[in-house]
Amino acid sequence: MSAARAVLWDMDGTLIDSQELHWISWRDSMANEGKAITHEQFLSSFGRRNDSILPLWLGAAATPALMDRIAAAKEELYRHLIRTNGITALPGVAGWLDRLREQGWLQAIASSAPRANVEVVLDALSARRFFQGIVSAEDVHKGKPDPEVYLSAAARLGVPPDRCIVVEDAAAGIEGARRAGMRCIAVSHNGSPMAADVVVQRLDLLQPGAFEALLKPAEAK
């Protein structure tokens, strides 16, 4: 096919397992402000934008100045942990990034994370060369499940939504892909059902022709 096609990657939980680093960063940054959070609170909010998480945790104390200070401290600690300790791609990621590039797919990051976080992760993975675009928290007004992040990424690559495939690990991201008119491959780490077109526990278990097969309905129109 001569028409462009694209894969839009979520980052946290899809390219990398960053959950523990985010937990440590949130826990310590909140504690430094005299605020405690439980691991259950963290898990219930994981993958959401900071400006939607902090009001829930801080309640009436959630002034803009305090939220900005905690969010900045949290993200700086998160990046420090990656720079210091490194991070590795989840199983199958490296192989698929390389295979998709060889097959002529365009690729972009479509993440709710701050751009600085995306960049430090791509540097740690030595993966910048695989991506022709990045859309991060600063580039959109609404977080997932709003489709804005995916539609923005598709626009930057110049690829229509029906020729884009999203790779996600969270229900909100899968719903965002559906609202964007895109097919979706979900990584379900615990094997639970997810409302995506294809669901696997690890990307190295994905069938070799999975991405092409998802585009066939669009190509047949």
Which residue has tokens 């590795």? 88
Token reading at 214: 């998802």
Buried b (16+ CB within 10 A) or exposed e, 56-66: ebbeeeeeeee
User: Which residue from 203, 53, 172, 67 is spatially nearest to 110, judged by alpha carbons?
Assistant: 172
Question: Collapsing DSSP states into helix, strand and coil, what is residue 125?
Answer: helix
Is 28 catalytic? The answer is no
Is 10 catalytic? The answer is yes
Which of 10, 28, 68, 139 is an active site residue?
A: 10
Cα Rg for the chain, rounded, in angstroms? 17
Token reading at 58: 């801080």
Direct distance between the N- and C-terminal alpha carbons of the chain, in angstroms, rounded to an integer = 14
Within 10 angstroms of residue 6's Cβ, the number of other Cβ atoms is 25
Which residue has tokens 């909100």? 172
C-alpha of 134 from chain center: 11
Which of 12, 17, 98, 139 is an active site residue?
A: 12
Residues that are catalytic? 10, 12
